[in-house]
């Protein structure tokens, strides 16, 4: 995802780009592949001094580290008085970032948490739907992601985190907790993806969107191909999501780290196709008629993760906008950006959103 963001920033903006990574050789190799100028610095996001040093002479940080570090990076950029965009966290970390609003505002920082494809583009499309109706009653977001767990170690960990613990649904104007991986339903995505099983995940959109849009109900659900869903369920049943270590031949290792390293080592095959599909629907009224605005978006890739490509691209657009202007403080994407210019920026990259409308009482 970070690589996709770097490629977009170097190709489409005039910003001076610095790559900060614990693997400096990999960062240099990326710049060489892109044939573009850039600077590389070594940074360990878990080392506060290393992180502080990396922020010197920086205006905006695009944080593409794992979501569990997002609060740590948020605190570091506020201390350094620089701006920030990250790819997103689940709702507990996002709430912690929003709690930093006053500190960020005082420091003059523009911080946009969760601006990849979801959270991120989903929020912006929901805001667009709210803007195009007189009143919004409900927002439903459905995601279908096809790349398998063995794409990378990070995907293994992300699938575990998405499938355990608690998820939030905004129902009748309040937050309601449900177990993650529950609330199964069948949803028909546009062809060729068709009907898929989706379930609850701990995304932050149901908690951030009601802060900007006066809406009664908000839900986010995700689905995978049936065989991937089965893999996740079996691994969870066997306890491979656990952190507590067990010992094998005198070596202690956590089941989670073992699963991430072993399953994720395969990578996505050169001929393997992947898709990231999003559907956002906003139901409400306009001119006294019940109206639903729909937004469909799909990206496909071969030999790489479609999620990596679109998430990095959306984050790059956000970072470019944050570098230029925006409200200070911590604002989720739906509050930080005007939807239409953002969608136009995607269209300039050949990434289009299909917009539709359903009216229950069409005029005669």
Q: Region 41-66: what's the mean pLDDT? A: 94
DSSP for 15-51, please give it: ---EEEES-HHHHHHHHHHHT---EEEE--TT-HHHH
What average pLDDT does the structure give for the chain?
A: 95
Phi, psi angles (nearest 5°) of residue 328: -80, 160
pTM, entire model:
0.95
Q: Region 144-150: what's the mean pLDDT? A: 94
Predicted confidence (pLDDT) at residue 38 exceeds the cutoff of 90: no
**Confidence band of 363 (pLDDT split at 50, 70, 90):** low
**What tens digit of pLDDT does each residue of 274-314 get?**
999 999 999 999 999 999 999 999 999 999 899 999 999 99
Residue 360 is predicted with a pLDDT of 81
Strands (E), 64-216: 83-86, 110-112, 135-145, 166-171, 174-179, 185-189, 194-200
Predicted confidence (pLDDT) at residue 224 exceeds the cutoff of 80: yes
Question: What stretches of 81-113 show up as alpha helix (H) in DSSP?
Answer: 91-98, 101-107
Predicted confidence (pLDDT) at residue 361 exceeds the cutoff of 70: no
Q: Are 200 and 152 in contact (CB under 8 A)?
A: no
**What tens digit of pLDDT does each residue of 326-349 get?**
999 999 999 999 999 999 999 999
Paired strand residues for 293: 282, 357
Residues of the chain above pLDDT 70, percent: 99
SS3 351: coil
Q: Are 278 and 297 in contact (CB under 8 A)?
A: yes
Q: At what angle do helices 2-12 and 24-34 cross, to 10 degrees?
A: 40
Predicted confidence (pLDDT) at residue 33 exceeds the cutoff of 90: yes
DSSP structure class, residue 120: B
State the Cα–Cα distance between residues 208 and 216, nearest whole angstrom.
13
Q: Region 62-87: what's the mean pLDDT? A: 96
Q: Region 112-122: what's the mean pLDDT? A: 97
**What tens digit of pLDDT does each residue of 172-204 get?**
999 999 999 999 999 999 999 999 999 999 999
Q: What angle do CA 227, 221, 359 make, to 5 degrees?
A: 120
| C-alpha closest to that of 104 among 64, 65, 73 | 73
Residue 117 is predicted with a pLDDT of 96
Predicted confidence (pLDDT) at residue 364 exceeds the cutoff of 60: no
State the Cα–Cα distance between residues 211 and 224, nearest whole angstrom.
29
């Amino acid at each position: 995802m970070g690589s996709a963001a770097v490629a977009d920033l170097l190709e489409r903006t005039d910003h001076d780009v610095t790559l900060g990574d614990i693997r400096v050789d990999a960062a240099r190799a990326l710049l060489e592949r892109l044939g573009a100028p850039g600077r590389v610095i070594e940074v360990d996001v878990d080392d506060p001094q290393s992180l502080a040093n990396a922020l010197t002479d920086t205006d905006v940080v695009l944080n593409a580290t794992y979501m569990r570090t997002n609060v740590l990076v948020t605190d570091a950029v506020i201390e350094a008085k620089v701006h920030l965009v990250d790819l997103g966290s689940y709702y507990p970390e996002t709430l912690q970032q929003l709690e930093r609003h006053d500190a960020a505002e005082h420091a003059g920082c523009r911080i946009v948490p969760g601006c990849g494809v979801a959270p991120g583009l989903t929020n912006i499309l929901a805001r667009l739907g709210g803007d195009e109706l007189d009143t919004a009653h409900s927002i439903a977001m459905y995601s279908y992601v096809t790349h398998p767990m063995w794409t990378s170690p990070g995907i293994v960990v992300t699938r575990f985190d998405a499938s355990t613990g608690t998820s939030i649904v905004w129902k009748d104007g309040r937050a309601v907790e449900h177990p993650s991986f529950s609330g199964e339903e069948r949803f028909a995505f546009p062809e060729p993806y068709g009907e898929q099983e989706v379930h609850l995940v701990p995304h932050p959109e149901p908690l951030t969107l009601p802060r900007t849009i006066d809406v009664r109900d908000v839900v986010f659900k995700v689905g995978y191909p049936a065989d991937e869903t089965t893999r996740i369920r079996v691994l969870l049943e066997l306890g491979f999501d656990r952190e507590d270590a067990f010992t094998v031949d005198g070596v202690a290792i956590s089941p989670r780290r073992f699963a991430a390293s072993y399953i994720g080592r395969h990578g996505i095959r050169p001929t393997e196709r992947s898709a990231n599909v999003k559907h956002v629907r906003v139901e409400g009224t306009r001119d006294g008629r019940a109206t639903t605005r729909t937004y469909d978006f799909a990206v496909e890739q071969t030999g790489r993760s479609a999620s990596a490509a679109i998430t990095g691209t959306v984050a790059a657009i956000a970072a470019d906008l944050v570098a230029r202007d925006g409200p200070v403080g911590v604002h989720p994407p739906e509050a930080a950006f005007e939807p239409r210019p953002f969608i136009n920026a995607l269209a300039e990259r050949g990434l289009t959103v299909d917009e539709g409308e359903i009216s229950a009482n069409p005029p005669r």
